A and B are shown apart, each in its own frame.
Chain A
Amino acid sequence: MGEYDAVIGLEVHAQLITETKAFCTCPNRYGAPPNTLVCPVCLGMPGILPVLNRAMLEQAMKLAFAVGATIHPRSKFDRKNYFYPDLPKGYQISQYDEPFSTGGSIELQVDGHRKLIRIRRIHLEEDAGKSMHQPDGSTLVDMNRCGVPLVEVVSEPDMSSPAEARAYLNEIRRLVRWLSVCDGNMEEGSLRCDANVSVHRKESEEFGIATEVKNMNSIRGVERALAYEIERQIGVLENGGTITRQTLLWDEAAEIARPMRRKESSDDYRYFPEPDLVEVVVTPEWIEQISRGMMELPPARRRRFCQEYGLSEATAEILAGERGVADYFEALAKESGNAKSAANWVQGEVLRILKERNCEIASFPVSVSDLASLMKEVEAERLSLGGAKRVLDRMVETGQSPESIIEQEGFAQTSDAQEIEKVVREILARFPNEVVKYKSGKKNLFGFFVGETMKATKGQANPKVASEILQKLLS
């Protein structure tokens, strides 16, 4: 960015996890066949009225707590009026000048430094339907999404780079998932993000004119779109041009942001108080009840992991990245009695398997107690670490206990020196050149011999015993 500073603010929309929609009793569920989760209310038929789903408030309250926002005892809904085929009432029920909560912040870690991003407000609203533009120019509309409860989290323009925006979004995503407030799925659109971005010369006090970037469908997309737009704005200014206020749509495939066609008429949404809903009242008792039920939040849990289990900050950060993973780790640490080793197993193997299989910790097939018994096998030196990892893979594949896999598939570690020595001799005979090299000083070949020995024994040889024998035979 050279001589320029960027100023970025994000508006994040999160679909709330609730049984039913915001203002009717239709199920709030993703992925049903189009236009099957609808009723006269969410279709905006003549004569309908909205009725607020209290679960929506509870979810919003949790998020507001988690970011340290002030929840207002009274707020109100407003109508945001505009015409679009996926907006069946011709207005969206939202909150305008009296939002649900204001204030709060999110702490980021970017390139080793901490940064606090302030949150301006969190407000409640309903989602619109989904327009699907077809190649032939027609548009199909799915109303299942109409009336899905949303919170909009508006940040202050406190971010100064695409990396910070990415970190902020990551943190919000992590938080809403942690709280089970939103599933955070950007591809499915349950978490969406619009950005306001401007640039100004470093020496200037005054912010530049901001543009709005929309249609970013992944966290990486946000980062790339912002980088693109910052670059573009700097280019315009460098060439003596001026930035105009506009909305751009990020084209992920082409990796460019295109100006949105000018909206019908203008951006005048003619907000006014929604007369069909009464004031949103959040009593101190209710706030108290929710706050008592609040779970430990990621920063607190990270700190506790460091203190209680002696984990490094980096490890704590990874393990407390997701509530399910953190819970799994803690249960494993308790069950196995070895927190360090439990941390290694979860961080290394469990997260690797989840990633490979593209699944959530909730559907990880190996129970804490099975993984703990596997760890015990390693500790008792009945199983090598490598062998244990392969046993775990088999456990995941078959759903069987470690004992039965070890028994059936012969993973048990052998410390039988005679047997191992027989294998080692074979290895040394197979690699005469390497033996010569080793003896002439290439000591780092030692690991190679250990590896070959383990390979030949399918990981069953006790690596300690194998090393001792190698030392003896190579000297």
Chain B
Amino acid sequence: MTLKIPPHSHLKNHPEELPSAVEGCLKAIEEAKPLNAFVHVLADRARHKAVEVAQAAGRGEELPLRGMILAVKDNIAIEGTSLSCASRILKDFKSLFTATAVARLEKAGAIVIGKTNLDEFAMGSSCENSIFGPTHHPLDWERVPGGSSGGSAVAVAAGLVHEALGSDTGGSVRQPAAFCGVVGLKPTYGRVSRYGLVAFGSSLDQIAPFATNCQDAFAVLCIMGGKDARDSTSAAYPMSYPTDGLKPLGQKLRIGLPKEYLEEGLQAEIGEVVHQVAGRLEKAGHELVEVSLPHSKLAVAVYYVLATAEASSNLARYDGARYGFRERSAENLRELYEDSRAGGFGREVRRRIVLGTYVLSAGYYDAYYKKAQRVRRLVLGDFLDAFGRVDVILAPTTPTTAFKIGERIDDPLAMYLSDVYTTPANLAGIPAVSVPAGKDSKGLPIGVQIMGPHFSDELILQVGCEIERLHGRI
């Protein structure tokens, strides 16, 4: 992976170069167009911001993220710009406001260069379910970059931007990060305001950064995180970015290896990489402990009940009545709803709306939604037990490396199982980061995942740094 623009550290100290860096970035994006990572390039907006940031620097303003060029998944709102969610139903929709996370990053000197591709409404694990067509894996164009935040993962992996924002509801940042060989952090639920993130599964969604290393991911997390008066579920956790960044891990840790995550179903090479990483950590003085997370095997099933239930309600507002796609031929209200939604949503989204509607229906609520809530508490309970014995948990991020475009598109169950190791952290609300740790025999990246207790985002990133240090750059 080579960065196609000057490094952020350079631009931070040479803000006068920002306008030309933005031009360079726009050119790189244009050249990488066949990857289909970006769906809307905000060229003029970025040019304008570059001048603004450079001028602020001229006035002596110290902005921690000065000159950081950022890509944003197209389900995160930026005032006056597209918020398509890769869906026909919002294809020409423009947001009236900016997401808190983006506003904070821009205030700190970041420059948003464009909006990236995703699976429609963040529903998918391959970045194929998009009205804009699939995004391609930068190392093998026949393969998927993972999803749903595939565009953002590719933007970082292809060196088009310094960092990118995605959203992680069941693994939508960690899985594509693992596939593309970059860092993807899903923060603790509540650590980052969801205001301006188009809701999919509200109790699971988090805005999440992609970066080339854990240090950079930490910077973005610190700036965009923290309590937001517009999001009642955001946590009042103090977040100020330490000027010297993420400190190296000072203590020796007990690191848990969950046996259920290393059994059958896992591509052998990925299992080997996890064990290699564990071995290096042990050699560095950390203690390895086998832990058990027995309910994690139910996580995918529980996830697809809860996330779809919430989605069926969250997506009810797209009905053709007020904004977005409207089926003009409808002759009455019912037809307007049915035809607009049938024509506006893609197959996977419709499938999940139907599933979510079903599990909330009278007579089925107890058997599905309520039961799933109970199992969700068991999944969390497993983690709490484990974190009584270990500081962090090391696990694979994905069961396989990047698969081929079209390979799973007609097999939703196989697609859903891509998230088997990532959904537990969303259900438990705990932070998890995927860091690149090796490659398979085809040269495709492999990621390992570090999970920690609630609000241990800093700690898991420190462990991530340690893995980067022990492993060297991939």
Whether A50 and B317, one on each chain, are in contact in the complex, defined by CB atoms closer than 8 angstroms, is no
Q: Give the residue of B195, B229, B231, B319 whose beta carbon is less than 8 angstroms from that of A90.
A: B319
Whether B317 and A46, one on each chain, are in contact in the complex, defined by CB atoms closer than 8 angstroms, is yes
Contact count A vs B, C-beta below 8 Å: 95
Whether A81 and B360, one on each chain, are in contact in the complex, defined by CB atoms closer than 8 angstroms, is yes
Interfacial residues of chain A within 196-235, with CB under 8 A of chain B in the complex: none
Q: Give the residue of A49, A79, A270 whose beta carbon is less than 8 angstroms from that of B232.
A: A49
**Nearest chain A CB to B364's CB is how many angstroms away?**
10
Name the residue on B nearest A83 (C-beta).
Answer: B337
**Nearest chain A CB to B164's CB is how many angstroms away?**
18
A45 to B197, CA, bound (A): 11
Max chain A CB contacts within 10 Å: which of B313, B362, B369?
B313
Whether B195 and A48, one on each chain, are in contact in the complex, defined by CB atoms closer than 8 angstroms, is yes
Give the chain B neighbours of A264 by CB distance below 8 A: 333-334
Whether A90 and B316, one on each chain, are in contact in the complex, defined by CB atoms closer than 8 angstroms, is yes
Given known pairs A40-B97, A89-B317, A268-B362, the reply for A52 and B232 (CB within 8 Å) is yes
Whether B232 and A277, one on each chain, are in contact in the complex, defined by CB atoms closer than 8 angstroms, is yes
Given known pairs A46-B198, A276-B202, the reply for A85 and B321 (CB within 8 Å) is yes
**Nearest chain A CB to B365's CB is how many angstroms away?**
8
Give the chain A neighbours of B201 by CB distance below 8 A: 275
**Nearest chain B CB to A221's CB is how many angstroms away?**
27
Interface residues contributed by chain B, number (CB under 8 Å): 45
- Answer whether residue B93 sits at the interface, using C-beta atoms and an 8 A cutoff: yes
Name the residue on B nearest A44 (C-beta).
Answer: B317
Given known pairs A40-B96, A276-B202, the reply for A49 and B231 (CB within 8 Å) is yes
Interface residues contributed by chain A, number (CB under 8 Å): 28
Whether B361 and A270, one on each chain, are in contact in the complex, defined by CB atoms closer than 8 angstroms, is yes
Contact with B along A65-93 (1 / 0, CB 8 A): 00000000000000101010100111100
- Answer whether residue B233 sits at the interface, using C-beta atoms and an 8 A cutoff: yes
- Answer whether residue A47 sits at the interface, using C-beta atoms and an 8 A cutoff: yes
A278 to B234, CA, bound (A): 10
Interfacial residues of chain A within 40-61, with CB under 8 A of chain B in the complex: 40, 43-52
Given known pairs A45-B96, A270-B357, A275-B203, the reply for A51 and B313 (CB within 8 Å) is no
Give the chain B neighbours of A30 by CB distance below 8 A: none
Given known pairs A47-B77, A88-B322, the reply for A270 and B313 (CB within 8 Å) is yes
Whether B77 and A85, one on each chain, are in contact in the complex, defined by CB atoms closer than 8 angstroms, is no
**Nearest chain B CB to A302's CB is how many angstroms away?**
42
A153 to B161, CA, bound (A): 56
Max chain B CB contacts within 10 Å: which of A89, A91, A270, A276?
A270
Contact with A along B71-88 (1 / 0, CB 8 A): 000001100000101000
Name the residue on B nearest A272 (C-beta).
Answer: B360
Give the chain A neighbours of B323 by CB distance below 8 A: 45
The 4 A-B pairs with the shortest beta carbon distances in the complex, nearest first, are A90-B316, A270-B360, A275-B202, A275-B203
Q: List 21 A-B contacts (CB under 8 A).
A: A40-B97, A45-B97, A46-B83, A46-B95, A46-B198, A47-B97, A47-B197, A47-B198, A49-B230, A51-B230, A81-B313, A85-B322, A88-B317, A90-B313, A264-B333, A268-B362, A270-B361, A272-B310, A272-B369, A276-B233, A277-B233
Question: Other than the known A46-B83, A270-B313, what 13 A-B pairs have Cβ atoms closer than 8 Å?
Answer: A45-B95, A46-B85, A46-B93, A46-B95, A47-B77, A49-B194, A51-B231, A81-B316, A89-B316, A91-B316, A270-B312, A272-B365, A278-B232
Residues of B at the A interface (CB closer than 8 Å) are 76-77, 83, 85, 90, 93, 95-97, 99, 194-199, 201-203, 229-233, 309-310, 312-313, 315-319, 321-323, 333-334, 337, 357, 360-362, 365, 369
Residues of A at the B interface (CB closer than 8 Å) are 40, 43-52, 79, 81, 83, 85, 88-91, 264, 268, 270-272, 275-278
